[in-house]
Structures are given as C-alpha cells and as structure tokens.
Structure 1
C-alpha cells in the first residue's frame, strides 16, 4: 500500500496510506485532513483540490492533461508544482509522495 505525506499550510504533516489507484484527493479527504475541499468529487471540474507537489516529485508524476491545466488557472495562488490532487493516482512508484496544501482553496 503506497503512502503519501500531506503537509498543511501551517506545516502540520500527516503520513497517509492510500489504496492503489486511489486519487491523492480521495486519500486526503478520507483522512479528514483540512485544506482539500474536492467540490467536484474528482471530476476535474473545479480547483478545490489544488496542492503543490514537492519539487523532488514533480518529474516523477505524469504530466497534467489539458483539462487539468485549464482548471489550474482557477486555483488560488498557482505556482510551479501546482496540481489537482484528484488527477494524481497513487501507485507503488509514488510511495512517499509529498504534497503541500495551499492556505486556501476558495
């Protein structure tokens, strides 16, 4: 079972176990970590699951598709490494992934 580290805006870190194929957004929401809203439930039609992928992991993820790139334009404070967590699917290759949450989603 792959794990990920989710760091809240205030620096509080959480280590989570995720199911294979589960989205990072679903793992964070299921663990009740504040900072991810996920209004669309993972349909890539909002930006309320926006987060920053740690620099060490950016090149290890598949590239964001055009729909995700368009939705990231709606995110608050996007920057390099910004991704929608509903579009990152956990796998053994992503075991230990580090995600940082923004101060706000709305």
Structure 2
C-alpha cells in the first residue's frame, strides 16, 4: 500500500497508508488533514482540496485535465505544481507522494 504524505504550513506531517484506487483527498479527509475541506466530495466542482505537489512528484502525478484546470482558477495562489487532491488517484508508483496544503487553506 503506497504511503502518502501531507505537509501543513504549520509544519505538521501526516503520513498515511493510502489504498490503491483511492484519491489523495479521500485519504486527507479520512485522516483529518487540516485545510482539505473537500466541499464537493471529490466531484472536481470546487477547489477546497487544492494542494501543491512536491517537485519530485509532478511528472508522476501528471498534468491536470481541462476540468481540473478550470477549478484551479478558484484556488488561492495556484502554482505550476498545483493540483486538486480529489483528482490524484493513489497507485503503487506514487508510494511516498508528498503534497503540501497551501497556507490560505489551513
């Protein structure tokens, strides 16, 4: 089972065993990661699960699809490595994935 790491602006580290096929957002909500509200429940209809993907992982997580890109326009301070955590599906090759919660969400 891949490990998923969320970092908060306050320096908290949440290391989660994330089952394959689940989303990063589902795991964040289940483990009460601060700043991941997921108001739309993972429907890619809000930006309340916005995260920054660690630079070492951006190639593996891939680029946002057009619908996700549209939603990222509503995120606070989107960066080139911004993603919605509801759109990142966990799989074995993402073992150790590091995502940072933006300060404005925490």
* Pairwise same-fold verdict (TM > 0.5): yes
Q: Return the alpha-carbon distance in structure 2 between the equivalents of residues 10 and 91 of structure 1.
A: 28
Aligned residue in 2 for 1:95: 95
SS at match of 2:83: strand
Structure 1 unaligned residues grouped into runs of 5+: none
Give, in whole Å, the separation in 1 of the partners of 2:64 and 2:80: 12
Which secondary structure does the structure 2 equivalent of 1:27 belong to?
helix
The alignment's C-alpha RMSD in Å is 1.2
CA distance in 1, matches of 2:95, 2:20: 10
1:83 corresponds to: 83
Residues 32-43 of structure 1: pairs in structure 2 closer than 5 A: 32-43=32-43
CA contact (8 A) 1:47 1:105 kept: no
**Residue in 2 aligned with 1:67?**
67
> How much does 1:50 deviate?
0.2
In the alignment, structure 2 segments of 5+ residues that lack a partner are none
Give TM-score scaled by structure 1 length. Answer: 0.96
1:31 partnered with 2:3 = no
The total of aligned residue pairs comes to 106
- After TM superposition, the runs of 4+ consecutive aligned structure 1 residues lying more than 6 A away are none
Aligned to 2:56: 56
Tell whether the 8 Å contact from 1:6 to 1:100 is kept in structure 2 after alignment: yes
